[in-house]
Amino acid sequence: MTETNILFADSINFHKKNFKSLFLFIKKNKIKNYFDENHRTLKCSFGNYKEIPRKAENQYNEIANLSKNQLFQLKINNLNIYNFYESEILSAVMTMAEWHDAPVPDSCHEIFNKLYNLNKEALLKNIAITLFWIKYWEQYLSDHPETTHCCVFSGSLIYAKTLIVLAKQKNITPLVFEHFFTGNHYYCENRTSGIANNSLIKSNSYYEQLPNPKSLDTKDYQISKKDMYTIIKKMRNRNVVQPKKDKADSIKTEEKSTVVILGQVLNDFALLEGGSPKSSIIFYKELITKLLSESEYNIIFKSHPFEKKKQNLKDQ
């Protein structure tokens, strides 16, 4: 029987504070594990590569003179390169004014054309970074044949997407993690795609694969369900700190009814993954315009508390 040996794609997301129970489990069962600590800056760039890193210069030079069609159809080892970088580059350009005037196009080809026309340099850099990560992980996994599992966070960034696909090709089990809204729980799913808006727990087939799905009707399940309600009631979101009630600002709305619009981080992967990418800015513009023209409601827009803290918004 093969001994379990877990590769963590980074230590940026994977540490005891974020995944306490995971690392307690690993320690208790004496499971071998190791971290890839290389290229931390690339892992934190979120598509915003101001200068092409020296380590990706060769890849950049290889594609710099390719035609638009050649870039879109670019493949390596039958892997469609576009699928790896779409979400990450959109998370970068979605913060730019030129993407705030019209909805995100419906098809991959139309999105690519818009990127090529408006953000060609950023596009070339993201493609080069994708090629770099494919080459890097291919060599890395070959140098670590003992690896049985790999863990990535979210699965939306280029370094994570390339790793889980290449791991699967080598019969390494990819596990994608994401925080749950309670603050102390998390998703952990065996998959080769990003988890945002696309968790397996929404599928009936997921429950049918459980060891004993009939147990969902048992007394133990009802007790667990009650416990979960208590957990949700006491939830503590990692990114959102609610103000104390006695310090919250009061809003005078006079006699008019009020509409409150709860904003999402404009380039959150929840908007960019799991289907056709969406622009929150366009939606808010259309909604507010319609409310102003067709109603007399007071309008309150509540931005997301993480809007100014998210890593790929800090330089905008």
User: How far apart are alpha carbons 267 and 229 in whole angstroms?
Assistant: 31
**244-287 pLDDT per residue, tens:** 665 555 666 667 788 999 888 888 898 898 778 998 999 999 99
Predicted pLDDT at 184:
76
Residues 6+ apart with CB under 8 A from 99: 93, 118, 279, 281
Average pLDDT over residues 143-161: 96
Predicted pLDDT at 237:
63
pLDDT at residue 152 is higher than 90: yes
Q: Which amino acid is at 37?
A: E
More confident residue, 161 or 187: 161
Q: Which of 109-118, 169-178, 252-261, 263-272 has the lowest mean pLDDT?
A: 252-261
Residues 6+ apart with CB under 8 A from 41: 53
Predicted pLDDT at 24:
95
SS (H, E, C) 128-183: HHHHHHHHHHHHHHHHCCCCCEEEEECCCCHHHHHHHHHHHHCCCEEEEEEECCCC
pLDDT at residue 113 is higher than 80: yes
Predicted pLDDT at 288:
94
What is the sign, positive or negative, of the torsion defined by CA atoms of 172, 173, 178, 184? negative
Is the backbone of residue 51 left (phi > 0), alpha (psi -120 to 50) or beta? beta
Predicted pLDDT at 61:
95
Predicted pLDDT at 183:
72
**60-103 pLDDT per residue, tens:** 999 999 999 999 999 998 899 999 999 999 999 999 999 999 99
Task: Report the predicted TM-score, pTM, of the whole model to 2 decimal places.
Answer: 0.86
Split at pLDDT 50, 70, 90, the class of 214 is low
Retrieve residue 168's tokens: 């699967």
Give me the percent of the chain exceeding a pLDDT of 70: 82
More confident residue, 307 or 202: 202
User: How far apart are alpha carbons 86 and 104 in whole angstroms?
Assistant: 12
pLDDT at residue 300 is higher than 70: yes
Predicted pLDDT at 220:
64
